Structure 1
Amino acid sequence: MMIHTGEKPFTCSQCGKSFSQSGNLKNHMRIHTGEKPFTCSQCGTSLANKDTLKNHMRIHTGEKPFTCSQCGKSFSLSGNFNNHMLIHTGEKTHKCDQCCKTFLMLSGLKKHLTVHAKEKPYSCSVCGKSYSCKYNFKKHEKIHTSVKEYMCFECERTFFTSRELKRHESIHTGEKPYKCSHCDKKFRLLSQLKIHERIHTGEKPYKCSHCDKRFITLGELRRHERFHTGEKPYKCSHCDKRFVTLGELKKHERIHTGEKPYKCSHCDKAFRVLEVLKSHERIHTGEKPYKCSDCDMRFSRSGNLRKHERRTHV
């Protein structure tokens, strides 16, 4: 009858949370005590309750009892199945009260809210680095232990997380299940699709805290903000130079190593920088993409166009 009346007579003495059944209170209390009386017979992992053990056992058995009626995809956990079904319905019930952005899942909203709050509650006990996202924090912690427990059976490459492995495996299969609703482009990852679709919608959710500029991705925002703060987190391992982006560092370090990874497809020349290769290959193709706005002259390099405009038209 308590289900119908809403009565919850069993209250936790630690945090005040109430329950309708004594069994639920007993399970809850293990959060505070840390007690894990249920042990997996396959790997020895200890768990707090029977249901968690049952779900855990599916890792070993491979059982996936929850199947999507729309696409046939199967899941081991009902929660993952319910989250997946939202992809088909497109329902986004979780709304940010800061910018009105909506999300399929509550976890997505919570992760998004840290962008506004700039809160980083997860701090590494080894190096002190802080994270707003628990997944990124857990991923970082494994750097210190150097344990990569997830292995690709195609190429034997190992990964810190199952998510990284799954993302990698799509390289071998060539699968691109995420299609843009505005054009014909397809993507391996849902995150790639979301970023791409912002090109069509014009959405720029990430705003600089120092100026009015907005950006499509968080990475673009972080790189931009370093120009305001002067932060240069990437240091050359050969000299004392520091750089704003990892790409700039890699480009610079090739001066020391002599590495020239970009090879011309028309001759034997190789280059340190991709842009220089592209400029060089125009010698072979005859392509001249830079046109003078005052006359019909065209150039293979932007520098040559600027030189022409200064000498001829100014």
Structure 2
Amino acid sequence: MEENEESEELSEVEEQHHDKPAEKPLSRSKTKTIFLKKRRAKRSYTCTQCGKSFIQKHNLDVHMRVHTGEKPFKCDHCGNQFTQNIHLKIHMRIHTGEKPFTCNQCGHSFPRKDTLEIHMRIHTGEKPFKCDQCRTSFSYKAFLRSHMMIHTGEKPHSCDQCGKTCTCKETLKSHMRVHTEEKPFTCDQCGKSFTQSSQLKRHMRSHTGEKPFTCDQCGKSFTRSTHLKRHMRIHTGEKPFMCDQCDKTFLMASGLKKHMLVHTKEKPHACSVCGKRFSQKQILQVHQKIHTGVREYMCFECEKTFTSANGLKRHEMIHTGEKPHTCDQCGKSFRHKSSLKSHMRVHIREKPHTCDQCRKSFTFKSHLKLHMRIHAVEKPDHHSLKSRPDGCEQERRNRSQKICQLPSV
């Protein structure tokens, strides 16, 4: 009712000004300013609790129920009470099943007009609720509210069994099944049960063979979106897991976990035969073949055998001439990735091998070893220099000079 009055009064102001030919037409904003001034002047019913004003007494009376808590309209079916009759009418559709508002895009029906308007955002792609922290947009206010908890760290829903906190009630409800061991979602193919519907949905792909997540770079498909996301790092070169000891990066968390054993020197896997310890179980399994004598990987070219598939694969490159690792700077190819890595230092001028005697640096470890001979040459004392023939001394100098001429690049 109040909205209709607003519209009528606004039109009246526009028409009044339009009737004056000597004056320029008012802009919409100026028209609204005049309208609001007139509207404020008309308001005579003011709420004594919050100061809000109304044009009609009826509207003030309805508003006062907010403060008094009065809800005179009661549902005969469930006892729910409402401040306005229109709210009761809308509520009654829950019991009658009436859904008068239908989506013209997909045919879905709703009991309320505002619910239909919210639903339409699915089709229009409208996302009016924007996070002021990271600018992410959402279709629904409830989604924004849940998202904001990421920034605030708020987790209002707490598990009374283990104290775990969750951002939303549904997540807590799902978590509680861990304690109750309830698994309401059952596979009709094999009878396996799950705590969440999403888990059942993923499991069903093992029966159907469905792989809905496809890489747009190479066409490889995956059963899970997380697997596709992880795979995409191969194409993007992204390595999000960084070692805080040496800054080395990895595609996956498991790769970082294995790498950390290099720094901790931890070797949890011991050989039951000789007691030798290893950082990884796979390396132990390869090692144990030394004791068993099992060398099940054989080269068909020369019949040489190997304890691991990787060992055989590396060996076969000798026969095929394959050099899969190519330098993107100069085009030179290598059999092994480690060889390419060493070669790249020539281009980036990296010199990781430093002499601890004179601090001179070298690109390759072999060059450092040759250089170390300079320091290994005995420095004769004053008396031996006097007694040594000039020819021997000259020979020593020549040898030292040759070693010094080794490239440090």
Return the TM-score normalized by structure 1. Answer: 0.51
Describe the superposition over 1:257-287 as per-residue Cα deviations: whole angstroms up to 9, x where unpaired: 1111222222221111222122222322344
CA contact (8 A) 1:178 1:193 kept: yes
Please state if 1:272 is matched with 2:251. Answer: yes
Aligned partner of 1:176 in structure 2 is 155
Aligned partner of 2:263 in structure 1 is 284
The CA deviation at 1:295 is 10
The CA deviation at 1:39 is 5.4
Please state if 1:188 is matched with 2:167. Answer: yes
Please state if 1:163 is matched with 2:142. Answer: yes
The one-letter code matched in structure 2 to 1:181 is D
Q: Find the aligned partners of 2:118 and 2:267 in 1 and give their Cα distance.
A: 46
- Distance change >3 Å, CA 157–CA 211, structure 1 → 2: same
Q: Find the aligned partners of 2:119 and 2:227 in 1 and give their Cα distance.
A: 23
Q: Which runs of 5+ in 1 are unaligned?
A: 1-36, 44-53, 67-76, 80-106, 108-121, 129-136
1:212 maps to which of 191, 215, 222: 191
Please state if 1:225 is matched with 2:204. Answer: yes
The CA deviation at 1:235 is 1.0
Q: Which has the higher contact order (CA 8 A, sep 6+)?
A: 1
The one-letter code matched in structure 1 to 2:160 is S
Q: Find the aligned partners of 2:277 and 2:117 in 1 and give their Cα distance.
A: 53
CA RMSD, Structure 1 to Structure 2 (Å): 4.4
The CA deviation at 1:211 is 0.6
Larger radius of gyration: 2
Q: Find the aligned partners of 2:169 and 2:272 in 1 and give their Cα distance.
A: 41
Aligned partner of 2:235 in structure 1 is 256
Aligned partner of 2:25 in structure 1 is none
Aligned partner of 2:368 in structure 1 is none
CA contact (8 A) 1:124 1:141 kept: no
Structural mapping, 1:53-64, within 5 Å:
none
The one-letter code matched in structure 1 to 2:209 is G
Describe the superposition over 1:98-153 as per-residue Cα deviations: whole angstroms up to 9, x where unpaired: xxxxxxxxx9xxxxxxxxxxxxxx99957x9xxxxxxxx99896455231111223
CA contact (8 A) 1:231 1:244 kept: yes
The CA deviation at 1:252 is 1.4
1:198 maps to which of 167, 171, 177: 177
Q: Find the aligned partners of 1:40 and 1:302 in 2 and give their Cα distance.
A: 77
Secondary structure at 2:255 match in 1 = helix
How many aligned positions are there? Answer: 203
The CA deviation at 1:161 is 1.3
- Distance change >3 Å, CA 203–CA 292, structure 1 → 2: farther
The one-letter code matched in structure 2 to 1:284 is H
Q: Find the aligned partners of 2:270 and 2:135 in 1 and give their Cα distance.
A: 49
Q: Find the aligned partners of 1:198 and 1:295 in 2 and give their Cα distance.
A: 47
Describe the superposition over 1:146-204 as per-residue Cα deviations: whole angstroms up to 9, x where unpaired: 31111223333221111210111112221111111211222222222223222222222
Describe the superposition over 1:224-256 as per-residue Cα deviations: whole angstroms up to 9, x where unpaired: 110110111111111221111001111111111
Return the TM-score normalized by structure 2. Answer: 0.41
Secondary structure at 1:182 match in 2 = coil
Please state if 1:242 is matched with 2:221. Answer: yes
- Between the two proteins, what is the percent identity of the paired residues? 40
Q: Find the aligned partners of 1:304 and 1:176 in 2 and give their Cα distance.
A: 43
- Distance change >3 Å, CA 190–CA 64, structure 1 → 2: farther
Q: Which runs of 5+ in 2 are unaligned?
A: 8-58, 70-79, 83-93, 95-101, 108-115, 295-409
- Distance change >3 Å, CA 158–CA 303, structure 1 → 2: same
Q: Find the aligned partners of 2:203 and 2:274 in 1 and give their Cα distance.
A: 36
Secondary structure at 1:200 match in 2 = helix
The one-letter code matched in structure 1 to 2:243 is C
Give the structure with the larger helix fraction: 2
Q: Find the aligned partners of 2:128 and 2:235 in 1 and give their Cα distance.
A: 34
